[in-house]
Structure 1
């Protein structure tokens, strides 16, 4: 994922922990880690669970074409 973040410096990466008393992960229906949630202007434009490297690249690409 670090490679994709380096290619897209305009993307803000916000790591989120889930667990008791931490509802943010649940609000995105995260069941497995890692889960990447791609958002633009406050709206989810994509979500991938336990992605392979090529899926991460595809997610970043779709972020700018959706």
Structure 2
């Protein structure tokens, strides 16, 4: 009976470690994305403004 109990405790510890690892990884990923996304969003917005300005200067469309 004690062998099963020890095995169960080991399985619980392993499950807790996996869960802790997943939660920690998710937290780190969230932090990294929160730091990286604003500059990327700003770069995309700047790109869009640049393209829009170029279209205005060039006549607003493609030449046929």
Higher helix proportion (structure 1 or 2): 2
Higher strand proportion (structure 1 or 2): 1
Query: How does the TM-score come out when normalised to structure 2?
Result: 0.22
Higher RCO (CA 8 Å, separation ≥ 6 residues): 1
Q: Which has the larger radius of gyration?
A: 2
Query: How does the TM-score come out when normalised to structure 1?
Result: 0.22
